[in-house]
């Protein structure tokens, strides 16, 4: 069987309302040199049956069933099974723009290891905005060229997601790059840190080629993770090590400091998620423990902008009542309550 140009991996868990639309956004395009790998991660709704019925009439779609193991495991199964020269990932509730495959094939050349493209933001079925990597299409032929430009991608968090990127499959497999299964937040960023660390030939497309769906009430019902800050600090350390390896840490420490302050406060804002069952006293105790355990990390960082300065000053009071009050205000602003 000839090697397909592109493998599209779609992890699926209880996505019966959206998975058909996601798959049809691929099949409706006038490009056939692809394979679609749907990994059903133990869905308990009709997701498997929907995908199975599509696969009966679509030889390019393969359906893999696994025990519920999480999105990282599902994507790793897809990587293992992928036969395409290139590989990308699509979430089951997202979908491609109509020109995705056409634009993709026009952008990629024989040396491309990584392609980054923009995405539309969809709320309640309507495109409400978009984000692109750079104003113009860019082509980076060396590690140094890309590393200089990558700072803005990291700062604007365009580096994080795997669904606005196409990867050279051999680069992923030869370097044994997988999604981490030991964490359930930040796994996308960790994967992409491993990717961009040594990558040389990179292209960036200034078009939005995928539609990212913001789930209604997502912040409300997402899982409360007591160890969120520890995971984020670990990711920041990995990012710091990469920037140091690139020789650009000094001039970009301010970016890491801004991320640090944000992550501290985000862990406290999470105390107001509906999935957090802690009492008021337990929330205060949680904040006290975090500040005692990790406070020196924050104390030794800078405050590169006004917002960071304000948030850092609040946390550095070490008064859990004040910190929790501001966390509540910020949670209301973000719509967590």
* DSSP structure class, residue 65: E
Q: Which pLDDT score is estimated for 215?
A: 81
What percentage of the chain exceeds 90 in pLDDT? 93
Q: Sign of dihedral through CA atoms 163, 194, 34, 16? A: negative
Distance CA 76, CA 63 (A): 14
Q: Sign of dihedral through CA atoms 276, 277, 283, 289? A: negative
Distance CA 218, CA 214 (A): 7
Distance CA 328, CA 124 (A): 26
Distance CA 19, CA 11 (A): 10
Domains and CATH numbers, the chain: 6-216 (3.90.550.10), 219-334 (no CATH)
* pLDDT beneath 70, residues of the chain: 1, 216-221, 335-337
CB 121 within 8 A of CB 212: yes
pTM of the model: 0.93
Give the C-alpha distances (Å, rounded to integers) separating 9 from 63, 105, 106, 228, 314.
Answer: 10, 18, 21, 27, 43
pLDDT tens, 212-223?
999 865 554 478
Q: Which pLDDT score is estimated for 20?
A: 98
Q: Which pLDDT score is estimated for 1?
A: 61
Q: Which pLDDT score is estimated for 173?
A: 98
Q: Which pLDDT score is estimated for 49?
A: 98
CB 50 within 8 A of CB 19: yes
Helix (H) or strand (E) holding 116: strand 114-123
Distance CA 160, CA 6 (A): 21
Helix (H) or strand (E) holding 241: helix 228-246
């Amino acid at each position: 069987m000839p090697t397909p140009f592109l493998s599209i991996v779609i992890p699926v868990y209880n996505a019966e309302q959206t998975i058909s639309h996601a798959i049809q956004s691929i099949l409706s395009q006038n490009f056939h040199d692809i394979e679609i790998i749907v990994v059903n991660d133990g869905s308990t709704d009709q997701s498997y049956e929907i995908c199975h019925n599509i696969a009966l009439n679509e030889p390019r779609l393969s359906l893999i069933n696994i025990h519920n193991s999480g999105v990282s495991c599902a994507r790793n199964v897809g990587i293992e099974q992928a036969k395409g020269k290139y590989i990308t990932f699509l979430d089951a509730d997202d979908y491609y723009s109509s020109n995705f495959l056409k634009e993709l094939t026009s952008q990629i050349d024989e040396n491309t290891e990584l392609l980054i493209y923009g995405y539309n933001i969809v709320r309640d079925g309507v495109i409400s905005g978009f984000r692109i990597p750079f104003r113009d299409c860019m082509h980076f032929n060396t590690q140094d060229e890309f590393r200089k430009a990558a700072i803005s991608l990291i700062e604007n968090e365009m580096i994080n997601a795997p669904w606005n990127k196409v990867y050279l499959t051999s680069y992923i497999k030869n370097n044994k790059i997988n999604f981490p299964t030991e964490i359930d937040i930040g796994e996308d960023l960790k994967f992409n840190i491993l990717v961009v660390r040594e990558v040389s030939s990179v292209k960036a497309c200034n078009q939005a080629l995928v539609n990212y769906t913001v789930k209604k009430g997502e912040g409300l019902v997402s899982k409360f993770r007591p160890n969120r800050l520890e995971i984020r600090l670990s990711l920041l350390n990995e990012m710091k090590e990469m920037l140091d390896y690139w020789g650009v840490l000094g001039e970009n420490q301010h970016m890491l400091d801004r991320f640090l302050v944000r992550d501290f406060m985000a862990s406290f804002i999470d105390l107001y998620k509906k999935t957090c069952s802690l009492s008021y006293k337990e929330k205060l105790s949680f904040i006290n423990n975090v500040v005692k355990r990790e406070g020196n990390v924050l104390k030794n960082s800078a405050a590169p902008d006004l917002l960071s300065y304000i948030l850092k000053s609040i946390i550095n009071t070490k008064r859990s009542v004040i910190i929790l009050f501001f966390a509540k205000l910020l949670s209301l602003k973000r719509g967590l309550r």
